[in-house]
Structure 1
C-alpha cells in the first residue's frame, strides 16, 4: 500500500525542517531599484509572461516576500538550478534580495495566462486535482498545501492560483524529473511523480484561470 507524505498536516501549524529562512527586513522602495535586473523577464509590474513556445516567466507580484527571498537565495547557492536566474541572483546582495522580495510582494498580481483556450474536460480535471486531488492515484490536492483557493500559505507554499500555466507546468515537470529539488522533504516531487502529463497540463491550465492572490 502506498503511503501519503507524512508532512501533510494542517498548513500553518508546523514549520518544515530545512525551509525556514533567516528573517531580513526588506525595503520595498530600495527593492524597486534593485529589481531593475528582473524587468526584462518578469516585467516592470512583476506579472511575468506566459510563453507557449518556450520558457515562461512566473508572476512574482503578490507572492510572499520570504518565499521570493528563499528562491533567490536558492538560485545563488545552486540548491535551485536555472542557468538564466543564477547570474541575476548573484548580482544581488543578501539585503538586496530582501528588498526585491519586499517590492514584488507589495505589487498587485494580474490574471494568469495559458488556460484560456483549454477545453471543459481539461479544466474539470484540473479543478479536481487542485481542489480535491485524485486519491485513486494518491495525488494530494493542491489546496492541501497551498491553502484555501490555492492563494498561498505563508513562506513555504506560494500562491499558485492565477500563476501562468506554462510556468506551473514547467515546474511540475521539473519536480517530476528531479531537476528541481528545493522543496521540503521532496513533497512536490512525490506528488508530481504520480501525475501524468495530461494531469500536469490540466491543473496548470485550471490554476491559471483562477483569481490570483490578493495583497
Structure 2
C-alpha cells in the first residue's frame, strides 16, 4: 500500500474515532461532570434561536476548538460555557469539534421582528461597510455569503440574530476578546445599536450552506 494512502486511511480512522467520542460527550457529557451539549445546543447541534444558543453543526473544527479553549482560559467570558469548558480535556475539545464540524448545518429561524428594511440595511452594511465611521465590510473577513474563512473568521450565515447581536455586544463590552489583533473589538465599538440589529438580522436570513436556498429551523 502506498505510504500516502496509508496516511489517508489512518487520518480517516482517527477522525472517525474522534467524532464518535465527541458524539458521546455531546449527548451524555463526560466523566468529569461536563453536561451534555445537546441540552443547550439541540440534538442536531442546531442551537436555539429564542435563547441565543448558537448553531455548532457545520462550523469549522479549528474554530470550535479555539472557542472551547478560550472559554476555559477566560479570553471569552460566558457564565454557562466558562464552567463547562473547564471540565473538558484537550482531547474532549478536539473530539467535540470534530463531531460538530461533521454534522450538516441547520439554519436558525428568522426572527419575525426583523423587517425587510432592517435586513436590507444590514446587507448594505455587511457588503459595503460604513467608511464614514471607519468600518470595513463584514464580507471582507467572513466572505460575501457569510460562510467564513478557515478557523479564524467563523461562519455567521444562518446563525440566530439573537446570538449574533449578543456577540457584537460582547465584543463591545470586552467580555469577548479572542479575535486576531483586537479586530472585532475595534469594529464593535463603532457600531450603533441599529447597526448591530441590522447586521445580525441580515446574516440570520442567509443560508449556512454554500449555494443552497435558505431553509429555516423552527
* TM-score (norm: length of structure 2): 0.82
Deviation at 1:102, TM superposition (A): 0.5
Where structure 1 has 5 or more consecutive residues not aligned to the other structure, the ranges are 1-24
Deviation at 1:115, TM superposition (A): 3.5
Which residue number in structure 2 is paired with residue 50 of structure 1?
49
Where structure 2 has 5 or more consecutive residues not aligned to the other structure, the ranges are 1-13, 28-35, 211-218
Deviation at 1:114, TM superposition (A): 4.0
Q: Report SS of the residue matched to 2:108.
A: coil
Taking the aligned partners of 1:114 and 1:195, their CA distance within structure 2 comes to 22
89-98 or 66-75, which deviates more: 89-98
1:42-98 CA-partner distances (Å, limit 9, x unpaired):
0110010112xxx41000111000000000011111121111002211221101110
Taking the aligned partners of 1:114 and 1:41, their CA distance within structure 2 comes to 19
Q: Report SS of the residue matched to 1:35.
A: helix
Taking the aligned partners of 1:133 and 1:144, their CA distance within structure 2 comes to 9
The answer to whether residue 19 in structure 2 is matched with residue 28 in structure 1 is yes
Which residue number in structure 2 is paired with residue 163 of structure 1?
159
Taking the aligned partners of 1:148 and 1:116, their CA distance within structure 2 comes to 24
Q: Report SS of the residue matched to 2:120.
A: helix
Which residue number in structure 2 is paired with residue 111 of structure 1?
107
Which residue number in structure 2 is paired with residue 8 of structure 1?
none
Deviation at 1:196, TM superposition (A): 0.4
Query: For 1:187, which of 175, 183, 189 is the aligned residue?
Result: 183
**Runs of 4+ deviating beyond 4 Å:** none
Q: Is this contact kept in 2: 1:63–1:213, CA < 8 A?
A: no
Q: Is this contact kept in 2: 1:127–1:203, CA < 8 A?
A: yes
Q: Is this contact kept in 1: 2:47–2:108, CA < 8 A?
A: no
Which residue number in structure 2 is paired with residue 7 of structure 1?
none
Taking the aligned partners of 1:201 and 1:105, their CA distance within structure 2 comes to 27
Deviation at 1:117, TM superposition (A): 3.5
- Higher-Rg structure is 2
